[in-house]
Structure 1
Amino acid sequence: MTSSDDLARVIVSHLSAALGVPAAEIALDAQLTHLENASSLRLLTAVSAVEEELSLELDPDDLVRVRTVADLANLVEGRIRSSEAH
């Protein structure tokens, strides 16, 4: 299993790439919609890259409730744990 810190790094890395913002400028408590260069398309690009790297699929209904980088990390971690339990 990937650690929570590793998951956060993966997510921040993909957000950084999609938004064109240095990873060091992306805080876990940052609102996704308030990140520099954030748009729905760029955020979706980052989420898709995370899904591809980690070989998982996130539920769109769950994604709508995600507000912060940490929320996204928690959602991904929950999805990984759920898939490991099956």
Structure 2
Amino acid sequence: YHSKFFGQDIFNLTKHQQRAFISTYQGLGYIKDSSLVIQSPLKQIKQYKPDFATGQATLMPLNNDLKKQAMAYYQCAFYMLSKGLYKR
């Protein structure tokens, strides 16, 4: 599966490969291992456990490794876009 995007072939994922990126005009979200990390303006980072059946989310203690992973994906995407590397 070759793509310039950060996604993966959803039909051939193992449980540990599953992730999703979501965003709004103010928040950047990263879902992995049933956790949602949201990065907001003013360096606010929070982690939730979403319930996709009800649409509710419970605030959780921030997992530092998951936080770093979320930040790294968005920093890498920004770097690639700003340097014109995303077009390749």
TM interval, shorter chain, is 0.3 to 0.5
Q: TM-score, normalised by structure 1?
A: 0.33
Which is helix-richer, 1 or 2?
A: 1
Which is strand-richer, 1 or 2?
A: 2
Which structure would you say has the larger RCO, counting Cα contacts within 8 Å and 6 or more residues apart? 1
Q: TM-score, normalised by structure 2?
A: 0.32
